[in-house]
Structure 1
Amino acid sequence: MKSCISTYSFDKLYQDGAFTRFDAIDKTKEYGCQGVELVLDDKTPDGSTPMEYAKALCAHAKEQGLEVPIYTTGANFFVKEPEKELERLCRHIDIAAECKIPLLRHDVAWGYYEGYTGIKSYKKVIEAVASFVRQAAEYARERGVKTCSENHGYLLQDSARMLELFAAVDHPNYRFLCDMGNFTVVDEDCATAVSALSDYIVHVHAKDMLVRSGMNFDPGRGYNLSRGGNYWRGTIFGHGNVPTFQILSAIRKSGYDGYVSLEFEGMEPVLEGVEIGTQNLQHMIEAVGKMR
């Protein structure tokens, strides 16, 4: 497996413009990674088009000797006009194809939209979004790009729900981005959940979280509530309660040998958190590589 850093890990540093995604690429190289994950949306910080901006970032990554194995962007097909969202997402697929990035990650659904009057069931959500996810996968296939979604967004975050989504989409070009920490948000055992989806993995996010029982007093600022009422917050990879090494070992034993992107969402200072987390990830990857 190879280490990678998501540009999202530096998100807090972009706010004042002093630190850019180009700087994030430089840091990724400095921290000894082989790849960088580009996280982009419809707006750019310099007024260029998304295509121009992505091309510039890819060129800079290449100058630094880094691969760009995945392009990450948002999406939400559980809306009143999913056709427009599909059209928007296809423009990002065009960018990935033009930049020769082999994999694109997109979201699927974020919640029940305003005015929704149907039964609030994740099964209804899957029924509504599956055809649009399938169309995106086919559009991408025709352009040499594979699509994937991660365990993200509450509605379709559990492993069983993700499996139902993949069965409903039923397209060979659509697979799973495994975020090893996100199952915490829906109170699912992360190691068990990852193992249930191991056959579908095409990329991995290395993320760690601190977890506190909902029976205890609210830990305060920085913590969020899980679906079942427990407390969680992101932290430095290797410092939290997610069984990160166990999960990474299981992923490797399943046959996956691709990139693993650090995704830092902690309260700790960003550069320190990313550097320590990357070191921990690289040590784990090295140890996993020596396992039988």
Structure 2
Amino acid sequence: MKLGLSTYSLHGKLSSGDMTVLDVIDYAAEHGAEHVEIVPLSYSLTDNPEWIDQIVEHAKQRGIELSNYAIGANFLTDSEEAYEQEIQRVIREVDIAAQLGVKLMRHDVASSPNVSIANFNTHLEKLANACRRIAEHAATYGITTSVENHGYLIQHADRVQTLVQAVNRDNYKTTLDVGNFVCADENPVAAVQKNLPFASMVHIKDFYLRPADRNPGAGWFTSTSGTYLRGAIIGQGDLDMWEILRIVKASGYDGYLSVEFEGMEDCLIGAKVGLDNVRRIWDAV
């Protein structure tokens, strides 16, 4: 197992301009991380290709692996032309992943206000076709692409598996976010067990949960059925992180664990405590 940090964890500092991606790599190295996951939110490697070599070289200097490249995408488009443009855009992002030297890349698949199983089934083959084409391009670099349980429409464990099986490529798997299942009102312990065999990467995230009839106020969002959710420092939220990490460890998973902090606390504190807690819990279970 290699424990590391998603640059998304320090999104607050990146978006304010207080830190750069190179600073995040320094922060990760100073707090015992073994890898950094590149998530271009608040920055763009497409618009700033000169940063790619800088990131690769700086990570090498700090002894940090670059583990994964994670981007947004949505293949539920208004036209066939837009659908093809989105596929080609993501294919170009695969080329960036190759320049980074990573062997894992997550791209989102779909976002829709209609999260029904009927809508999922209607668009499954269209979504699978896009992912299949991208995976085939990624295979030329030896890169495994993946879908995350993310975005409501494809957030349930069974839907993730269905898409992975429909794509039917050896280098197409899932980035398994242990926390995101609660957004679809699934038990994360059970859902993690279901999807671990399909995982290329594991994100560690925690949440606070409150009943739908008890609005906690600003800073919270809702699950599909209305449960209130808020990001938490890993190990301090309402998820059974001990049992989740025990299951991951017992499965024999020996890949990357990536800390994702998205709470209201200071992100520098949230990321550090998250790293410390995952390391401590992993050793204990």
Bin for the TM-score computed over the shorter chain: over 0.9
C-alpha distance after superposition, 1:243-279 (max 9, x if no partner)? 1221122122222111101000000011111111110
Alignment of 1:28-67 (within 5 A): 28-40=28-40, 44=44, 49-67=47-65
- Quick check: 1:274 aligned with 2:275? no
Contact 2:8 / 2:41 at 8 angstroms: preserved in 1?
no
* Equivalent residue number for residue 116 of structure 1: none
Runs of 4+, deviation exceeding 4 Å: none
Aligned partner of residue 66 in structure 2, secondary structure: coil
* Equivalent residue number for residue 5 of structure 1: 5
Contact 2:66 / 2:100 at 8 angstroms: preserved in 1?
no
* Equivalent residue number for residue 120 of structure 2: 122
C-alpha distance after superposition, 1:224-259 (max 9, x if no partner)? 111111111101000011112211221222221111
Shifted more, 253-262 versus 174-183: the winner is 253-262
Change in CA separation of 1:91 and 1:50 when aligned onto 2, cut-off 3 Å: farther
Aligned partner of residue 194 in structure 1, secondary structure: helix
- Computed over aligned residues only, the root mean square deviation of the Cα atoms, in angstroms, reads 1.8
Instruction: Quote the Cα distance in structure 2 between the aligned partners of 1:43 and 1:233.
Output: 24
Instruction: Quote the Cα distance in structure 2 between the aligned partners of 1:163 and 1:259.
Output: 20
Aligned-pair CA distance for 1:15:
2.6
Instruction: Quote the Cα distance in structure 2 between the aligned partners of 1:73 and 1:148.
Output: 11
* Equivalent residue number for residue 150 of structure 1: 148
Instruction: Quote the Cα distance in structure 2 between the aligned partners of 1:206 and 1:157.
Output: 15
C-alpha distance after superposition, 1:139-186 (max 9, x if no partner)? 000121110111001001001111111121111110011100000111
What is the letter of the counterpart of residue 34 of structure 2? Q
- Quick check: 1:207 aligned with 2:167? no
What is the letter of the counterpart of residue 103 of structure 1? L
What is the letter of the counterpart of residue 206 of structure 2? D
Aligned partner of residue 126 in structure 1, secondary structure: helix
What is the letter of the counterpart of residue 272 of structure 1? I
Contact 1:2 / 1:285 at 8 angstroms: preserved in 2?
no
* Equivalent residue number for residue 110 of structure 2: 109
* Equivalent residue number for residue 259 of structure 2: 262
- Quick check: 1:175 aligned with 2:185? no
**Please, what TM-score do these two structures have when normalized by structure 2?**
0.93
Structure 2 alignment gaps of length 5 or more = none
Instruction: Quote the Cα distance in structure 1 between the aligned partners of 2:241 and 2:278.
Output: 9
Instruction: Quote the Cα distance in structure 1 between the aligned partners of 2:126 and 2:257.
Output: 31
Instruction: Quote the Cα distance in structure 1 between the aligned partners of 2:16 and 2:50.
Output: 22
**Please, what TM-score do these two structures have when normalized by structure 1?**
0.91
Instruction: Quote the Cα distance in structure 2 between the aligned partners of 1:112 and 1:128.
Output: 18
C-alpha distance after superposition, 1:74-95 (max 9, x if no partner)? 1111113211111111111111
Aligned-pair CA distance for 1:120:
5.7
Aligned-pair CA distance for 1:58:
1.8
Change in CA separation of 1:284 and 1:42 when aligned onto 2, cut-off 3 Å: closer
Alignment of 1:235-246 (within 5 A): 235-246=232-243
Instruction: Quote the Cα distance in structure 1 between the aligned partners of 2:255 and 2:284.
Output: 15
Aligned-pair CA distance for 1:137:
0.5
Identity of aligned residues (%): 39
Contact 1:42 / 1:50 at 8 angstroms: preserved in 2?
no
Instruction: Quote the Cα distance in structure 2 between the aligned partners of 1:41 and 1:139.
Output: 24
Aligned partner of residue 70 in structure 1, secondary structure: strand
Aligned partner of residue 231 in structure 2, secondary structure: strand
Shifted more, 49-58 versus 194-203: the winner is 49-58
Aligned residues: 280
Change in CA separation of 1:41 and 1:270 when aligned onto 2, cut-off 3 Å: closer
Instruction: Quote the Cα distance in structure 1 between the aligned partners of 2:55 and 2:87.
Output: 24
Aligned-pair CA distance for 1:99:
2.4
Aligned partner of residue 143 in structure 1, secondary structure: coil
What is the letter of the counterpart of residue 248 of structure 2? I
